[in-house]
Amino acid sequence: MKFFRNILDKAAPKFEKGGKLEKYYPIYEMADTFMFTPADVTEKGPHVRDSVDLKRSMIIVVLAMLPAFFFGLFNIGYQEDASRSIIENMLIGLYATLPILLVSYGVGGLWEVIFAVVRKHEINEGFLVTGFLIPMIVPPTTPLWMVAVATSFGVVIGKEIFGGTGYNIFNPALVTRAFLFFAYPSAISGDSVWTIVDGVSKATPLAVAAASEDVGGVTALIQNNYSFAELFYGFVPGSIGETSTLAILIGAFILIITKVANWRIMAGIMIGMTGIALLTNLLAGVSTNPMMDLTPQYHFVLGGFAFGMVFMATDPVSASQCDAGRWIYGILVGALVVVIRSMNPAFPEGMMLAILLGNAFSPMIDYIIVRKHIKRRQNRYAQ
């Protein structure tokens, strides 16, 4: 590491103020802080001594996603031929996933660099997570040019126009997926997009449920195609990182014990989903919509619910910031998932739109709670 340190130190004068490459200082600063801990200290209070900075927090999130990522690699090959070895299936999955990952990081990173150079601010580590999330939430057959266009839209429209990391209202990775869903629906939905082998076509469990016409029999229809164990462990067609609820829960445990993600949001989502799902189950007998019969445990393991709950809704920028707001925000997202899935046949997934709607309401939730606290304190001290 001393070798790289010497190279960076020798190059520093060219990028610092007055140097020939001064305007490209954000690129130098990105390389320096990515490899080494910054030596700069705060000149004025408050002074915080902590080994956990934004870079380390982002890396922890990436590490927490690795169990779901590695299982996703295996599952891509497994969906074609379950008789192959784990290594063979993972290599097939890597062959399909690596190009998407490289395009996501390459295109998104380029936009990050362009905006940092133009605005003359440091390149933020936030895209470490966004660039990894995007391949996790798209089908393995998504054309690379679509990934590039959607990533550009997600980074520029979803984040940079608001001022960059820390100022974005919506989760950029979800904006990317929403763009794909509405701009190129045939590339992200339908039976044929979930496998990488010609002639192999499988419906996702949510697609099976949404296609049901038997009121009160949707759970039985799912069970005829996939067992609950297959749904929980992830041996089903789906987006690269969203199929294995078990792997996602391992990631949730890592995020919670490191306090990178707030458990209140996850708990709130589970409460909201369970409450509204039980309500729709009660109303299923008087409804002609089969999705009303879908029970909470199946909502939990179907589609992107678990992945969205753990890695998307807990985004510290676009989610609510205060504890009370996190509960309300989580319950709102969980309730909206079931409402969208059960009552709108055009959007059987639901989690993506539910989190984006939650993102839109989170500033208002925080504002109302903060104003309530201020008013309470004003009344207390007025006495």
- State the Rg of the chain over Cα: 23
Same domain for 185 and 267, yes or no, is no
3 state SS of 289: coil
**Number of domains into which the chain is organized:** 3
Same domain for 223 and 337, yes or no, is yes
Instruction: Please tell me the number of Cα atoms within 13 Å of 231 on its side-chain side.
Output: 23
The boundaries of the domain holding residue 189 are 56-202
* 353 inside domain: yes
Task: Give me the mean pLDDT over the 184-193 stretch.
Answer: 66
Mind listing the pLDDT tens digit for each residue in 361-375? 999 999 999 999 888
* 265 inside domain: yes
Same domain for 20 and 75, yes or no, is no
Q: What's the CA gap between 19 and 296, in Å, rounded?
A: 61
Same domain for 192 and 207, yes or no, is no
Same domain for 83 and 211, yes or no, is no
Between residues 293 and 205, which one has the greater pLDDT? 293
What's the pTM value of the predicted model, to 2 decimals? Answer: 0.83
What confidence tier does 344 reach under pLDDT thresholds 50, 70, 90? confident
Same domain for 274 and 366, yes or no, is yes
Establish whether the linkage from the previous residue to 185 is cis, with ω within 30° of 0: no
Same domain for 96 and 19, yes or no, is no
Same domain for 183 and 69, yes or no, is yes
Mind listing the pLDDT tens digit for each residue in 60-99? 999 999 999 999 999 988 888 888 899 999 999 999 899 9
Mind listing the pLDDT tens digit for each residue in 24-47? 666 666 666 656 666 666 665 555
Same domain for 221 and 125, yes or no, is no
* 314 inside domain: yes
* 380 inside domain: yes
Same domain for 8 and 109, yes or no, is no
Same domain for 77 and 192, yes or no, is yes
Mean residue pLDDT across the chain: 83
